[in-house]
A and B are shown apart, each in its own frame.
Chain A
Amino acid sequence: DAGVIQSPRHEVTEMGQEVTLRCKPISGHNSLFWYRQTMMRGLELLIYFNNNVPIDDSGMPEDRFSAKMPNASFSTLKIQPSEPRDSAVYFCASSFPSGRTDTQYFGPGTRLTVL
């Protein structure tokens, strides 16, 4: 398995532009997580899905952020409009919670820079 796939790996955009980050979870995993990592705030959970349904979006900073999971193999995180303070590394992770293992596997991340 290729692991969790994220695209793009790097994104540089100007303030006000729409940004879409993409994630393909590990095949067979039914939980998907979006995290944001910055030096100041550490690793923050933004939203997570279970069986394609959003379970907890309390970490989404504001209405400019939205996430979708139209099927088991694809999710997007959209920021519209983007602002400089959104600059961070965004990680997607997936897992298959069971009685034996709950390991979350992280993707390589998308480094977003908003100018």
Chain B
Amino acid sequence: GENVEQHPSTLSVQEGDSAVIKCTYSDSASNYFPWYKQELGKRPQLIIDIRSNVGEKKDQRIAVTLNKTAKHFSLHITETQPEDSAVYFCAARNTGTASKLTFGTGTRLQVTL
């Protein structure tokens, strides 16, 4: 089955700096890669996603890149703000498993003033 690895497990950046979180996946058939943000005590919420026919996608301060050849994808947050502090999860899904997502282990991002 699919295996998703996520790094780093913790990340501390100063407000205004950029943050990058990286994930790798094992199944070359995976074609959908969402990113979820989970604030303390809250539910995971989708913040951005990308499909395998696209190399990059942006939404304001957030961008995701995908390298299908290397089987890795990354989340980039620019101009970080304290409210970006949360745990971020990447995930992968392939057509063979219908709706099933395989999640990474999460990255705890701390944005300091």
**Taking beta carbons and an 8 Å cutoff, which residues of A are in contact with B?**
31, 33, 42-43, 45, 48, 50, 55-56, 91, 95, 97, 102-109
Contacts and interface: CB of A to CB of B under 8 A. Distances in A.
A108 B46 contact: no
Nearest to B102: A45
Which applies to chain A's interface (DSSP): helix, strand, loop or mixed? Answer: strand
Max chain B CB contacts within 10 Å: which of A95, A97, A106, A108?
A106
Given A91-B43, A102-B93, 6 more contacts: A42-B106, A45-B103, A56-B100, A104-B99, A105-B46, A108-B42
Given A42-B105, A42-B106, A43-B106, A107 B43 contact: yes
Nearest to A92: B43
Contact of A104 (B97, B98, B101, B106): B101
Contacts of A45: 100-103
Interface residues of B, number: 19
Contacts of A56: 97, 100
A43 B46 CA distance: 14
Nearest to B43: A106
B44 A102 contact: no
Q: Top 4 nearest A-B pairs by Cβ distance?
A: A106-B43, A31-B99, A42-B105, A43-B103
B98 A50 contact: yes
A91 B41 CA distance: 12
Given A42-B103, A56-B100, A102-B93, A91 B44 contact: yes
B73 interface: no
